[in-house]
Structure 1
């Protein structure tokens, strides 16, 4: 670097050797010799003597300045080359992620189409069988039976067309859901591609500028600071890592997406699920004031929810589509739980204050869909005292599972003959406040305040689910995915909330629903899961229906 000028007006100048004489001072026409750091200007000897010889001007040899700035630009080349290498890797990863997403989602589409193709085929075979039976019966009579046959065939076609339309509508809905997810993924990857390409173009621009300013010393000195600043700014953005992280998240979310299907309450359901997503309020249904202290008990169809008045224990049913509420039981009996066995029969667990002997009578009741009593089912009594609670659910095989509170035995009952086909005994734990059947065959048992234990059919403990933040919690299970939804009192926020938890006890999402307790709400209501995968919460005044959407 050139030394500073001594104080005073005299400056000793030395001749330049090998200097580019084409670069000269616009004012004096003499070769550029120095660079003034204070003013950021290249100057000739005369400018240096006349205008820049006094402090605080500090002059550097122009050749040193050129050398130093060229050196700094050269030092940036490895970083630029490394960034180019990283962006090439990101572009490759983008293509891989897009191919993976397309393949996985196409597989889902194929699964959906294959599943519904078989159903339509089965329904068509059913139609053929019915027509054959009708024709055989028609052969027994001539005119009358022929007339009857034609009418029945017509009715059969109408029935089959209705069934096929329902199936095709369901298939179209699922394919539409899959298409929506595909669009979301494609848009996200397209946005990342644009972002990545912008960085690549910027890098090319910088390289072009470096090549251009290196051709002339004057351009190099004047524009190098701006080019260096642009390089540093783009290097600091770390775009390649951000894009890579986004792609990893996309792959992770797409991998969760599944086509799930199964039976619930004796009916077949299917949907696109498995992902975490985002829950959004679809609508709210007001609970009539005639229900003084409403508490959601359970649901026995996609749209019908049991709501009990804990003031007098009357049972109501609210249809979340029509928003109509109707009283169905006026017995003053506390129903602890209920579940559909099939499209015709519902099983309810109850409490009883007058149980005697070694059997529990009247604690399990079968109802038809008009809520008329079919019959009671009896199970062994396992403790002294008059007051007992019995909890029920229906497993994947259509069997009733039932348990008495404060006991370790869970009974598996065949609803066809009311016989106990299996007794499951938990080791070291007792039923606290309810049981839920999983599609895997396992059972979720409430074993303590805010504690849920997953057990196998042999009574083996497989997982214990607990969170210190849960207060006064209630658990319900999605019968198709085995996802648990825990409704609880959030002490910190003074609200009710719902957490989404896997059957292994992993909390997948916090506070997917949250609402404030109403004046009528004296008991926490569970978050119900419809067979189609929607959630229904209750704040005491309203039922809130939530639907899940796929997000990235």
Structure 2
């Protein structure tokens, strides 16, 4: 059930009408209408004015006249009869109920006003509370701030003290660091000084390293210059002959023209002129010499040895003429050549009895210095340069009583400080023996005991023998080719030389004379042998191989010193060496002789 009350503020609910005058709720139509609209629609059941207009929603707008106080609800007659007929339901007239309700509401209103006054007073208390507590809290805050500020100030004072300590400590550390920096700067200064010294030393070493390169360049350019001068000399000679022949031929033509001028000259001088010019016209122009010059010059080449530095080579490719270019007379009494280290430095020993010292001779400056002081029981016989720039020497040694030779092969640095000895088996039954050494292209030491049949290939890094070559005959080692094949002569000496491979197979190089010694060209593998006359007065050097081809020609010959008491033995001990530039080094027991193959046309 629901109740609706009319009001002067109600608005007419008819469509297109907004009137607020005399608006009344019509029960049947269930809407509010003004009087005009109600008349138009012939509405009935108009609500009465002057009393509450309450209508029951449950019973189709039935007017509400009662109020059930038991259930506190307004009801119409039908509701009272149907839903509120129970004896427990107390019904009251709606107007009385409204009046009772108004009275109760007014009482509540008064109580609400009293409560409102209490609220106002309570609000004042709250405001006062806020004010009082704010004042208190501000005072508390001020107290806290005062205490805290005092504590903060105390801490700031401590901070200043700590800061002073920190600054003092850091200043002390910085002072220590400054002192360390000063020391470091001093070390840096010393390092810079060391740098300058090392740079200067490096420059000096570099200059020394480049010195042989520069010398090699000068030698090569000198050789080319000499060839150019010889070529120019020969061509000038050919030009002179050509000019002479041209002039002679022109003169011949003039003679013939004179004879042919008239018959009288033909009759008178013709026969004589014919005889005189016929021989001149038959002379050849020597065209072959011009071709020979061209072919010879074009055959000249820059020869580089296998496995060597690119700059290390010489001008070759021609036969030329071997000439003695230098004779060096040093303080050594009986110099014997035993090896060489480079273009300048030749190793020689003094064959004077009781001396046995070893010297290094600079053939450019012609000065020598002793590098090994000999002993009565030891003597350097041969030497060669290892790939790491160390020097290996073969020696004569006495007192060899064990089954191995421990002091017959020694290794030195370039300042001739002894590094170590290399041991090989002893094959001789005597307590005196000697060992010759050479170095192959791989840097291995090739060693052989004199007058024995075994050759040893030794790794210089650890001194181990990596190969033993058994020869057919007793031999004396003379060198090693770039192929690895070994050059040796038989012992006793004979009219032949051996080329021995690493398996022991050998090839013979024959010669008309008895071969006392041999020499290998390190750049071309050309092979030279040393022979003598029957009385061992003259030393003769012949080329027997050019590369792999047999070739025989006399290179040089010279007499040995008359002061020698045993020339035959000297032939065996003094070597002939070929440098990479093509200089042939030998000794006549008085002087060191230097030969060079000169280009000739």
Regarding TM over 0.5, the answer is yes
Q: Which residue of 2 aligns with 1:187?
A: 233
- State the shift of 1:341 in Å: 1.9
Query: Aligned partners of 1:391, 1:265: CA distance in 2, in Å?
Result: 23
Aligned to 2:500: 455
Counterpart in the other structure of 2:481: 438
User: 1:299 pairs with 333, 337, 340, which one?
Assistant: 340
Distance 1:513 1:499 in 2: 9
Deviation of 1:390 after TM superposition, in Å, equals 2.3
Q: 1:154 to 1:207 in 2, by over 3 A?
A: same
RMSD value over aligned CA atoms? 3.8
- How many residues get paired? 405
Q: Scaled by the length of structure 2, what TM-score is found?
A: 0.58
For the residue of structure 2 that corresponds to 1:430, the secondary structure is strand
Q: Does 1:519 align with 2:563?
A: yes
CA gap 1:282/1:188 in 2 versus in 1, 3 angstroms: closer
Counterpart for residue 218 of structure 1 = 264
d(CA) in 2 for partners of 1:161, 1:309 = 36
Structure 2 CA distance for partners of 1:340 and 1:449, relative to 1, 3 Å: same
Cα displacement (A) at 1:492: 8.6
1:549 aligns with 2:598: yes
| Among candidates 320, 323, 338, match of residue 367 of structure 2 | 323
> Partner of 2:533 in structure 1?
490
Partner residue, 2:457: 412
Question: Residues of 1 paired with 2:556 and 2:269: CA distance?
Answer: 54
Where does residue 553 of structure 2 map in the other structure?
509
Deviation at 1:353, TM superposition (A): 5.0
Matched, 1:377 2:422: yes
1:281 to 310, 313, 324: 324
CA distance in 1, matches of 2:536, 2:376: 37
Using the alignment, how far apart are the partners of 1:424 and 1:147 within structure 2? Answer: 55
Aligned equivalent of 2:392, options 324, 342, 347: 347
Question: Is the CA contact (8 Å cut-off) linking 1:274 and 1:481 kept in structure 2?
Answer: no
Aligned residues of 1:450 and 1:473 also touching (Cα < 8 A):
no
SS in 1 for 2:373: strand
Alignment partners' CA distance in 2, 1:287 and 1:158: 29
Post-superposition offset of 1:219: 1.0
Q: Distance in 1 between matches of 2:354 and 2:399?
A: 18
- CA-to-aligned-CA distance 1:463-492 (integer Å, 9 cap, x gap): x33322x34621122212223333332349
Judge conservation of contact 2:452–2:476 (CA < 8 Å) in 1.
no
Question: Is the Cα contact below 8 Å between 1:518 and 1:541 reproduced in 2?
Answer: no
From the superposition, tell whether residues 303 and 225 of structure 1 become closer, same or farther in structure 2 (CA, over 3 Å): farther
Q: Secondary structure at the match of 2:280?
A: helix
Change (3 A) 1:391 1:169: closer
Q: How does 1:51-200 map to 2 (within 5 A)?
A: 160=206, 167-168=213-214, 170-200=216-246
Q: Do 2:393 and 2:411's aligned partners in 1 also have CA atoms closer than 8 Å? A: yes
Residues 323 and 282 (structure 1 numbering): CA distance in 2 closer, same or farther, change over 3 Å?
A: farther
Task: Measure the CA separation in 2 of the matches of 1:312 and 1:274.
Answer: 45
Q: Is the 8 A contact 2:349 2:380 kept in 1?
A: no
In 2, the alpha carbon distance for the partners of 1:183 and 1:304 equals 30
Question: What secondary structure sits across from 2:473 in the alignment?
Answer: coil
Structure 1 regions of 5+ residues with no counterpart?
1-137
Show CA shifts across 1:55-114 (max 9, x none). Answer: xxxxxxxxxxxxxxxxxxxxxxxxxxxxxxxxxxxxxxxxxxxxxxxxxxxxxxxxxxxx
Query: Following the alignment from structure 1 to structure 2, what is the Cα–Cα distance between the partners of residues 395 and 512?
Result: 27
Deviation at 1:231, TM superposition (A): 2.8
2:383 to 322, 338, 352: 338
Larger radius of gyration: 2
1:418 Cα shift? 0.9
**Secondary structure of 2:582's match?**
coil
Conserved? CA contact 1:431–1:445, under 8 Å: no
- Please, which moves more after superposition, 154-163 or 218-227? 154-163
Do the aligned residues in 2 keep the contact of 1:484 with 1:500 (CA within 8 Å)? yes
Please state whether the residue corresponding to 2:434 is helix, strand or coil: strand
Give the whole-Å Cα distance in 2 for the aligned partners of 1:374 and 1:314: 21
Structure 1 length-normalised TM: 0.63
2:351 counterpart residue number: 309
Residues 190 and 205 of structure 1: CA distance in aligned 2, closer, same or farther (over 3 Å): same
Cα pair 2:227 2:599 within 8 Å, conserved: yes
Unaligned runs of 5+ in 2: 1-183
SS of aligned partner of 2:476: coil
Q: Secondary structure at the match of 1:481?
A: coil
Matches of 2:208 and 2:357 in 1, distance apart? 34
Q: 1:358 to 1:330 in 2, by over 3 A?
A: closer
The answer as to whether partners of 2:335 and 2:348 remain within 8 angstroms in 1 is: no
Number of the residue aligned with 2:579? 530
User: 1 or 2 for the larger relative contact order (CA 8 Å, sep ≥6)?
Assistant: 1
SS in 2 for 1:433: strand
1:193-215: per-residue Cα shift (whole Å, max 9, x none)? 44235435544543554455345
- Kindly state the Cα deviation for residue 393 of structure 1 after the two structures are TM-superposed: 0.8
Decide whether the 8 Å contact of 2:301 with 2:316 is kept in 1: yes
